């Protein structure tokens, strides 16, 4: 798995996290100082959760990977452990996008690269489920990048996004904004009301494995031709 953060030494990873924490702490101190000078403490009250939501993945994701709470199937595709018959999948976090996306890629190349890594991860997840006979589980994911047409081509159906998930997305708005901007190569404001939750029974998705594999190979070829 080509993920520039995990390919670094433990010392280098710790230094990166320390630098991120130091910058975040400095931002909060500045916000607190401005609030104290102006008497407008709403400034630091707003800045604190925004800063926390942005830096959280840089600490939470590596920690969860180490503990087994998150499993990488590709640099931009992770899943949680099965719970109540459901495997929740995620198309990478801000942390992953920062360390995986090549800044030299244009907007179209980035979209192709992201989709290819999604499919690559999904295929590896399906292979694991086949080997462990877990076809009865459901796979569920929420995305603001994949559209309905793409999800339905793969085999997913759109289901209602639950209220808690919507609250999480609202809280992480600036996190999502930066992630989407990296994905598109320009400043892009997310439309959270357009966020969709996709779901499918693993047994049904396994029937689409050949199609997913072919699409994955086509995207690989496309990336090779563009680079």
What does each C-alpha distance from 23 to 20, 28, 61, 123, 180 come to in angstroms?
Answer: 5, 9, 19, 38, 22
Task: Give the per-residue pLDDT at 193.
Answer: 75
Q: How many Å separate Cα 220 from the centre of its chain?
A: 20
Whether this prediction's pTM lies above 0.75 is answered by yes
107 Cβ contact list (under 8 Å, min separation 6): 184, 185, 186
Task: Give the per-residue pLDDT at 88.
Answer: 92
47, with CB counted inside 10 A (0-12, 13-18, 19+), is: middle
- Which DSSP helix (H) or strand (E) runs through 196? strand 196-201
Q: How many Å separate Cα 208 from the centre of its chain?
A: 23
Write out the chain's pLDDT in tens, 227 residues: 689 999 999 999 999 999 999 999 999 999 999 999 999 999 999 999 999 999 999 999 999 999 999 999 999 999 998 888 899 999 889 999 999 999 999 999 999 999 999 999 999 999 988 877 677 889 998 887 777 788 888 888 888 778 888 888 889 999 999 999 999 999 999 887 777 889 999 888 888 999 999 999 999 998 887 55
Task: Give the per-residue pLDDT at 139.
Answer: 92
CA distance 52 to 56: 6
97, with CB counted inside 10 A (0-12, 13-18, 19+), is: buried
∠ at Cα 213 (209, 215), nearest 5°? 120
CB 157 within 8 A of CB 205: no
E-strand ranges in 58-114 read: 70-74, 77-80, 86-90
Q: What is the CA radius of gyration of the chain?
A: 19
CA distance 105 to 64: 29
Task: Give the per-residue pLDDT at 150.
Answer: 81
Task: Give the per-residue pLDDT at 130.
Answer: 80
The pairing of beta strand 138-143 with beta strand 157-159: unpaired
Residue with token string 């991120």: 20
Task: Give the per-residue pLDDT at 226.
Answer: 57
Task: Give the per-residue pLDDT at 1.
Answer: 66
């Amino acid at each position: 798995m080509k993920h520039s953060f995990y390919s670094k030494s433990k010392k280098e990873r710790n230094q990166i996290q320390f630098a991120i924490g130091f910058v975040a702490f400095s931002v909060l101190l500045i916000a607190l100082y401005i609030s104290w000078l102006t008497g407008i403490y709403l400034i630091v009250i707003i800045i604190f959760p925004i800063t926390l939501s942005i830096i959280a993945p840089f600490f939470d994701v590596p920690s969860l990977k180490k503990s087994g709470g998150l499993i990488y199937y590709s640099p931009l595709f992770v899943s949680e452990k099965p719970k109540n018959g459901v495997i929740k999948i995620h198309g990478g976090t801000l942390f992953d996008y920062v360390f995986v996306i090549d800044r030299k890629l244009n907007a179209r190349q980035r979209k192709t690269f992201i989709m290819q890594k999604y499919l690559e991860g999904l295929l590896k997840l399906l292979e694991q489920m086949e080997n462990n006979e877990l076809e009865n589980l459901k796979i569920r994911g929420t995305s603001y990048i994949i559209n309905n047409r793409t999800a339905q081509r793969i085999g997913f159906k759109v289901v209602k996004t639950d209220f808690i998930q919507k609250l999480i997305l609202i809280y992480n708005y600036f996190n999502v904004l930066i992630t989407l901007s990296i994905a598109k190569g320009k400043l892009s404001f997310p439309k959270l009301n357009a966020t969709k939750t996709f779901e499918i029974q693993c047994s049904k998705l396994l029937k689409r494995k050949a199609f997913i594999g072919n699409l994955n190979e086509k995207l690989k070829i496309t990336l090779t031709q563009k680079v």
